[in-house]
Amino acid sequence: MRSNDSPTARKDDLEGVLLDILAKSGAKSLSAPEIAQAVTKQDWHQLLMPIRRAAVALAQAGRLVIYRHGKPVDPSDFKGVYRLGLPRHD
């Protein structure tokens, strides 16, 4: 993501990257730090809040699921440690 991109373009880029990492991981879910470290090894902590915002937007659109204690949560009302996963089509 380039610094001269608009905030909307950066958000869309991060959402795409997030979905791509989840799709390629092979894991049922990943934590925000795992995703941030997959994006960059340098100063990945600064990506945690943008990942959370992108995850909430994607979850509200039905494109991913936010988990706490292994159970899906309301994307507009969750706290603490969470994991992200793609919707399951069992």
End-to-end CA gap in the chain: 34
Please, are residues 29 and 85 in contact by the beta-carbon 8 Å criterion? Answer: yes
What is the set of domains in the chain, with CATH numbers?
A: 7-85 (1.10.10.10)
How does 24-41 read in b/e, with b if 16+ C-beta sit within 10 Å?
eeeeebbbbeebbbbeee
List the pLDDT tens digit at each of the 90 positions of the chain: 444 444 554 667 999 999 999 999 999 999 999 999 999 989 999 999 999 999 999 999 999 999 999 999 999 999 999 999 999 876
